Each structure stands twice: as C-alpha cells, then as structure tokens.
Amino acid sequence: MWRARQSANASRPACSNWQQVLRPDARFRDQEGICTMMDSAETALAATGDLSLHQQIVNDVEAKILAGDWPPGHRVPFEMELAEQYKCSRMTVNKAMSQLARAGLIIRRKKSGSFVSLPQVQSAVLKINEIRSEIESLGKIYHYDLLERSLRRANANDRAHLDMKDGKVLHLRSLHQAGDRPFCLEERIINVAEVPQSLEESFATTAPGGWLLQQVPWSTAEHTIQAINADSETAKRLAIAEGTACLVIERRTSSNAAHITHVRLTYPGNAHILVARFTPSQS
C-alpha cells in the first residue's frame, strides 16, 4: 500500500523513500546539472565522456544501498577512506556525499560520519482529474451509469473515512465506461453536513467527482494506492475475470480542514497506469 498527501497549492512534492524506485535505470544527478571543481583525474574522465569520479561514487554507494548490502544505519566509509579508494580529492567525495544526502539516501553527522538513512514515506502530487477528461483524452467516448444512490447514517467505516463523530452521508456507486468497456468502478461517500447541496443533486446523469470539483473548492487530498484481486461483484461490474489484478485508488478530500468526501476508484490493472513525479528531499 502506498500513501500520498497533496495540497491544492502544492507545486514541488518531496520524495525520500529510496526503496520505491519507479525507474530502475534512473540515477541521481547534481541538481544544477553541472559538475564543478573537479580534480585533474576527474577532468580527464569527463573529457573522455566517461562518468565523473563523483558520479561514480554516487552510483556505487547508491547501488549498495538499494541492493541491501548497506542496510539503514550502516556507516558509509569516511571521506578520507573513499578518497583513497577512488584516488581522488576529498572535495570530490564531499560533493558525492552531499548529492546522496540531498537524495535522502544517507544522513551526514558532524564528527560521526555518514549513515544510510531509514526509508521514509513518499509524498507526491497526484492531480485530481475528472474521470470523463481522462477517458476523452484517450480518444474514447465517455459513458456514466449511476448504480446506487442512498442517504444513510454514517457507519463505523464512514466515520473513519471522513473523521466524523456522527451524521449522515450520501452513498454513491457508479460505473465509468470508455467506449463499450468498463473503465472505473467508483464508490463514494459525501459528508452532507459539509456539502448540503449534494442532497438536491440526483447524480443520475452527472458524475459526482466532476460535480464536486465545480461545487466545493478543495484544499487538501490524501491518496491511498493498493493492488487487489477482483471479487465476484467487482469482476462482474468491470467485465473481468474474478481474481484479476486491479488498481485501487482511495482519496479523501478536504476543504478548510473539513473532510468532504471519500472515494474508492477501482480500475482493471491492465488498463490503467499511474504516473507521479518525484523530486529529492531538500532537507
């Protein structure tokens, strides 16, 4: 399971969990994209088109951490030791250590040295897109079916999802289709105390996600992402075999610190790709 929290005003998410590698071929690079203050050996390597010495050190240390050879808490060799091993200046090693620290792979402590950091939760900005827009961007015809609409007193799960003590929620189940194929199964609850106008909307022809985006300005959203195997009901709705892998995105959306809605979106696993952009932590 993977969690992400975003803000409506967020523009630069932070990521420091080195255990989740979305692109295994990716390597950490200097933030400015340039190499400065190289010693003579490093300059010679750069001139031949090979990796700079500082990048070679970064790659080697990164590989040991990601492979588990150096577990969290492991002390990285001192700068003098690495300088001797790679036959370069301490300045080059220091540059490599600084880059690894910015990426969240190591923690540097004065007088104690550098240590492999503990994995931390990643944060990412995931846009809250209207499902209709997603489908139409694929060149498909969008179709929406409301499966269920009911007003009920909040049960234990509802109260946990919306962090509410009591009250009523509007429960909605709907199916989004791309052409003649099911695209997404949506199950949503809306806190009617925070969004009373939802009681006047039938949602028979209007999808609740798009309606909420227009009616209520949101400030924060929390995503939970996991993989499941489709049960019989989900498989029937999505026209897939029971047990088929599915991607589930659960999102709780808030407006001015009040939780307004919680939605569970289930996609056939082979028909949906989740893309998120990460940047190294600046701390």
Residue 227 is classified by DSSP as E
123 pLDDT exceeds 50? no
| pLDDT, tens only, 7-32 | 555 443 333 343 333 333 333 333 33
Domain 131-271 in this protein, CATH class: alpha beta
Is 73 or 173 the better-scoring residue by pLDDT? 173
Length of the chain, in residues: 283
111 pLDDT exceeds 90? no
Q: The domain 18-116: what is its CATH number?
A: 1.10.10.10
Contact 167, 154 (CB under 8 A): yes
**In the chain, ranges of CATH 3.40.1410.10 domains:** 131-271
User: Would the CA dihedral through 196, 202, 205, 209 be positive or negative?
Assistant: positive
Give this prediction's pTM: 0.58
pLDDT (0 to 100) of residue 174: 98
| pLDDT, tens only, 213-248 | 889 888 888 888 899 999 999 999 999 999 999 999
**In the chain, ranges of CATH 1.10.10.10 domains:** 18-116
Q: What tokens does 232 get?
A: 């019989």
CA–CA gap between residue 133 and residue 126 (Å, rounded): 15
Largest CA distance in the chain: 74
Confidence of residue 133 (pLDDT cuts 50, 70, 90): confident
For range 97-117, the mean pLDDT: 87
pLDDT (0 to 100) of residue 4: 55
